Chains A and B, each alone.
Chain A
C-alpha cells in the first residue's frame, strides 16, 4: 500500500467514525439515560447504576398510557402508509403509462401542495374534524397523514415505475391481464423494493408527526407517541427524564428492527431510485 492510499483510507475511516458518532450519540445518550437509576449520572458524585425500572414504569403505569400511545401510533402510521402507498401507486402508474395533458404541471402541483407549512393548515383541519365529530379518533390523524405523505410517495413511485420498461405492460396485456392485473401481478412485484421503501418512509413520517397529533387528539384513546412523550412532563412535578428516554427507546425499537430486517431490500430500493429520478 502506498503512503497516499494509506492516508486516503485513514481519512475515509475517520470520516465514517465521526459521522457514526455524530448521528448515534443522541441515541446512545437516550439509551444510557433510560437505563440509569439517576438521570444526572454525568455528575461526578453520582454513580451509573443500571436499572430497568423506567422501562417497566413506562410499559405498565396506568397513568402514563404509553402502550396505548404506541398502539395508536403503529395503527395510525400503518394505516396511513398503506393507504398512501396504494393510492400513490395507482397515480404513479397512470402518470408513467398514460398520455394525458399537463402531466408535468400535475406533478409540480402535487409537489407544491406538500410544501404548505403544517401550521397554516392545522386550524382549518381542527374545524373540519370537530365538525365531523372526529376529534380524538384515529381517523382524524389517518386522513391528514395520507394527504401529507401522498405527494412524497407519488414522486418516489413515479421514479421507480418509470424505470420499468413498458414492454412488460404490453406483455402482460397480451398474456391476458387487465390494466389493473398488470399493476398487481407485474408492476408491484417488480417494483417491490421501491414500493416497500416508499411505504417505510411514509410510515416514519406519520410515526414522527407531532403538530396534527397534538391538536386533534385529547387523550390516550387517539394520542400518538410523540405527543404522549412530550406531555409526560405535565403529569409530575419534575421532568421525568428517565421515563421519557425509556419511552423513546421503546418507540425506536420497532422502526430499527424493521429497518434492520429489510435492510437489503430497502438499500436496493433507495439506490435504485437514486440512479434515475
Chain B
C-alpha cells in the first residue's frame, strides 16, 4: 500500500519535472525562432531588391516550366511507346 502511494508520488513528481522541462524547451525553441526572425529582418534590403527584380523571376520561372513540360512530354512518349511496341 505504502509502496503504491510512494510510486504514485514519484510518478507525479516526474510528470511535474517533465512538464517543467517541456515548458522550458518550448520557451527556448520560441526564443530561437524569434532570434532567427530578427536575423532575417536584418536582410530586409535584399528582400526589397527582390521586388524590383520580379520580372527576372518570371523569366527564370518560365525556363523551369518549359523544362518540366519537355520532361512530361518525353515521359508520355516513352509510356506510349511501351504500350504500343509494334508501332
The answer to whether A and B assemble together is no
Point out residues on A near B: beta carbons under 8 Å: none
Point out residues on B near A: beta carbons under 8 Å: none
